[in-house]
Amino acid sequence: ALFTILADLDKLREAGCFPDTKLSIRDFILRSLPMKPTDSLFNYYGYLADRSGLDLTPRMRVKIERAYFQPAEVGEEEHSAKLFLGLSTAYFNLQLASNGKIRFHQKGTARYTPASLTHQLQEGTSDLGVSSIPPERHFRLLFNTYFDTRSTAIIGATYTSQLDQLDQELRAHPDEDCKNAAATYGAICFGFPGFVTLTPQVKVELNGKTKFVDLGTKIKELLSRSQADALKSLRIQRLFLDSYYDLYFDPADLNVLSLTLVAGDRVSLSTSSRVLH
């Protein structure tokens, strides 16, 4: 029922019934919903474990890791450890342009492990084409959980309702070409065939120092001391409508340590507490 309501709100917004504000009515409602600590990603990025999609937002970073293998000979097992050549890693920042659209901007150059791998690849890594994805107002990362023949993909569109429709289409027809399906809904699709891992990262503050963490990181993963001791000096602030608010919790309840971090979160402990850097 919730997703039906959100879809209806998107249609009303497309019809001009809501002002074009920085935070859409859809996002406002999602971020206002009371959720369990482990469900923070749903409030901010629309992610639930059984939906296999996650909204990409400005100031997020995407880490792309690709594994390379030698071609298998007759009778050999493909993509075995014996044929493994190495990894490439590239980072892309999601930047918000003045026209309200999001674009992908490569941060630095791709890193190859081992370094000699760069000489073995004839055309480099095709993942660098992410920079050429046309800017759009909304992007979503689709995981290969429900894909039979394709790997991860990034889809983009003017409205989230288009992404929802394309998402549903690809769920129902996993063999359908992603680009062709996207064009049907006025959207775009950039696929990542092969052995690729896409990891969205968000910027948080830990004792005043900014760092990127993988999306899905929990409070307890930042700590290097006993959880019970950490609660005594733990303070968490979350950004909502351009202002920071303290998250209140029972200092005796360890469940708060399962809180999933989102972009902009501020986590602080007393100077006597130890945290991971």
The amino acid present at 89, given as its one-letter code, is T
Chain centroid to Cα 219, Å, comes to 18
Q: Is residue 244 part of a domain?
A: no
Q: Is residue 88 part of a domain?
A: yes
The tally of domains found in the chain comes to 1
Q: Does the residue 254 lie in any domain?
A: no
The tens-digit pLDDT sequence of the chain (277 residues) is 666 777 777 777 767 777 666 666 777 777 776 666 566 676 667 665 556 688 899 889 999 999 999 888 888 888 888 889 999 999 999 999 988 899 999 999 999 999 888 887 755 566 888 999 999 999 999 876 444 444 688 999 998 889 888 988 888 887 888 899 999 999 999 988 888 889 999 999 998 999 999 988 988 888 766 555 667 788 999 887 778 989 888 888 888 888 889 888 999 886 554 555 5
* Helices 2-14, 25-32: inter-axial angle, 10-degree rounding: 150
Identify whether the C-beta of residue 241 lies closer than 8 Å to the C-beta of residue 228. Answer: no
Instruction: Give the model's pLDDT for residue 276.
Output: 54
By C-alpha distance, which of 94, 194, 111, 105 is closest to 153? 194
Around Cβ 209, how many Cβ atoms within 10 Å?
Answer: 9
In a domain? residue 17: no
* pLDDT number for residue 147: 40
Q: What is the pLDDT of residue 170?
A: 84
| pLDDT number for residue 228 | 54
In a domain, 1, yes or no: no
CA 80 to chain centre: 29
Residue 143 lies in a domain: yes
Range of the domain at 64: 53-198
Structure token digits, residue 202: 């968000």
> Structure tokens of 249?
């919790």
Whole-angstrom Cα Rg for the chain: 21
pLDDT in the model for residue 2: 66
Q: Quick check: 236 and 259 in contact, CB under 8 A?
A: yes
pLDDT at 148: 41
Reported in sequence order, the residue ranges of the chain that DSSP labels E, i.e. its strands, are 53-56, 61-69, 84-96, 102-113, 138-142, 153-157, 188-191, 196-206, 209-214, 235-240, 243-246, 266-268
b (16+ CB within 10 A) / e for 226-254? eeeebbeebebbbeeeeeeeeeebeeeee
In angstroms, the CA 216 to CA 227 distance is 19
What integer pLDDT is reported at residue 174 of this predicted model? Answer: 78
Residue 207 domain flag:
no
Instruction: Decide if 188 contacts 182 (C-beta within 8 A).
Output: yes
Assess if residue 169 is contained within a domain. yes
Q: Is the dihedral of CA 166, 168, 172, 174 positive or negative?
A: positive
